[in-house]
Amino acid sequence: MATFNNTDLAAFKDVWVFCEQRQGKLMPTDFELISEGRKLADELGVKLCGLLLGDNVEGLAKELGGYGADEVIVCESPLLNVYTTDAYAKVICDVIEERKPEAFLIGATNIGRDLGPRCAARLHTGLCADCTHLDVDMDIYKDFLRESSTLAPEKVDGMKTAKVLGEDHDVSRDLKMTRPAFGGHLMATIICPRFRPTMATVRPGVMKKAPFDQAKADACKITKPVVKLTEDDIDTEVVEVVKAAKKLVDLIGADFIVSVGRGISKDVEGGIKLAEELAAELGGVVGGSRATIDSGWLSADHQVGQTGKTVHPKVYVALGISGAIQHKAGMQDSECIIAVNKNETAPIFEIADYGICGDLFKVAPMLTEAIRAAKAAK
Ligand SMILES: Cc1cc2nc3c(=O)[nH]c(=O)nc-3n(C[C@H](O)[C@H](O)[C@H](O)COP(=O)(O)OP(=O)(O)OC[C@H]3O[C@@H](n4cnc5c(N)ncnc54)[C@H](O)[C@@H]3O)c2cc1C
């Protein structure tokens, strides 16, 4: 194996994306991250590679090419059939040490959140968890310096390097990883200036999927390195894979979401029913603020926001939701936001395209009826 010196930054090249599959099916985050990785790789002038692990999964690789991967590295072994942290971390670290990518992105799914830190610790590099934005340009530094330093603006404009931990450092190749910090009250942009690969886990649903391109899928190269993995490398045994007993709501893939907040408290069941009726009429699903999840009115898979799901549906209806910053973080990129709140100063109205100041128990049935009538008229 090639020697692995993770401080020799120049030896690291290319952007990689961990492409998670479960039971032979790629995850939606794979396509989001490949699409985002494509943009980063183009800015850096390097290749974008998908990293796919499993048993007999090569057939999935070309699809990743259709979303922008130049190459997919396929690591196959019967021991990778079902996910275990030991096996996946070993194979990923082996291939990273061999080929040295400069950035490695992982979806912040349950598996990604488990795998990312394990790999980062083994590779002795930095990982920024749960990112909502990635970038490689220097503008963000320059904005920061213009606002917070005494440097002359001309000096900031012409900068190519910045002082990082007391040393001049070429920041133009650093991945800038942005995530909410301090309870979501500010966004922190983090770099990993001294080690490679820079690692990030990225929130599902945040990055936009590019359109599929068959020509790119056909051109995508597939590489299959030798996988050195034995049972001795794995300390865990998967006894049984239990699928979710209950079908979870698909907020991330929904075009229409009707979310309820604490405003339904005077009649919780009635409020949820009104939201379900409106959602059914729109062909959508029901979401909720954290207040409704913490109160046990809706299950956790319905939660929208910083610690819930990030959504960008065509229409987001907020019924009795105040619009706390942590809720907005998960829905403010919706194409059209309709807010119903009886308090005209509720912050949700600041980002609403249509704001209705009124009692949700009166307004929601009127919206449902209006949609029903419009559909019947067609
Ligand atoms: C670290 C951290 C992470 C968090 N993550 C999330 C998250 O992911 N998602 C999230 O949602 N929150 C999150 N929160 C909580 C967030 O700060 C708010 O507490 C929460 O969003 C409030 O929910 P709400 O708007 O339903 O309730 P409230 O803020 O209590 O608002 C209820 C609203 O209903 C209106 N109302 C009342 N009755 C009616 C009626 N009959 N008709 C119309 N309007 C009515 C009121 O005017 C009010 O504006 C987080 C907080 C922290 C600290």
Average pLDDT of the chain, as a whole number:
93
Question: Is the domain of 21 the same as that of 69?
Answer: yes
Question: Is the domain of 187 the same as that of 299?
Answer: no
Instruction: Read off the pLDDT band of 3 (50, 70, 90).
Output: low
| Cβ neighbours for 209, distance < 8 A, ≥ 6 positions apart | 28, 31, 32, 35, 67
Please write the tens of the pLDDT for every residue from 350-370: 999 999 999 999 999 999 999
Average pLDDT on 219-237 reads 96
Q: In terms of residue numbers, what domain contains 198?
A: 9-136+174-233
Q: Are 197 and 101 in contact (CB under 8 A)?
A: yes
Query: Is 41 part of any domain?
Result: yes
Cα–Cα–Cα angle for 331, 367, 319, rounded to 5 degrees: 40
Average pLDDT on 225-239 reads 95
Question: Is the domain of 204 the same as that of 347?
Answer: no
Q: Is 308 in the pocket of ligand 1 (CB under 6 A)?
A: yes
Q: Is 330 in the pocket of ligand 1 (CB under 6 A)?
A: yes
CA gap 75, 343 in Å, rounded: 56
Query: Is 214 part of any domain?
Result: yes
Q: How many A from CA of 44 to the centre of ligand 1?
A: 41
Query: Is 156 part of any domain?
Result: no
Selection from 22, 115, 15, 113 nearest residue 60 by Cα: 22
- CATH number for 331: 3.40.50.1220
What per-residue confidence (pLDDT) applies to 182? 80
The residue contributing the CA closest to ligand 1 atom 41 is 359
Q: Is 340 in the pocket of ligand 1 (CB under 6 A)?
A: yes
Q: How many A from CA of 305 to the centre of ligand 1?
A: 10
Question: Is the domain of 190 the same as that of 300?
Answer: no
What per-residue confidence (pLDDT) applies to 1? 47
Query: Is 348 part of any domain?
Result: yes
Instruction: State the CB neighbour count (10 A cutoff) for residue 353.
Output: 12
85-99 and 110-123 helices cross at what angle (nearest 10)? 50
Best mutation site among 259, 289, 302, 348 for ligand 1, i.e. most ligand atoms within 8 A of its Cβ?
A: 289
Cα–Cα–Cα angle for 294, 295, 297, rounded to 5 degrees: 110
What per-residue confidence (pLDDT) applies to 186? 81
Please write the tens of the pLDDT for every residue from 306-351: 989 999 999 999 999 999 999 999 999 999 999 999 999 999 999 9
Q: Are 260 and 321 in contact (CB under 8 A)?
A: yes
Q: How many A from CA of 323 to the centre of ligand 1?
A: 6
> Alpha carbon of 364 to those of 33, 65, 333, 349: distances in Å?
37, 44, 22, 17
Q: Is 84 in the pocket of ligand 1 (CB under 6 A)?
A: no
| pLDDT greater than 60 at residue 292 | yes
Q: Is 324 in the pocket of ligand 1 (CB under 6 A)?
A: yes
Query: Is 290 part of any domain?
Result: yes
- CATH number for 96: 3.40.50.620
Please write the tens of the pLDDT for every residue from 248-289: 899 998 999 999 999 999 999 999 999 999 999 999 999 999
| pLDDT greater than 90 at residue 70 | yes
Selection from 176, 83, 193, 195 nearest residue 132 by Cα: 176
Query: Is 159 part of any domain?
Result: no
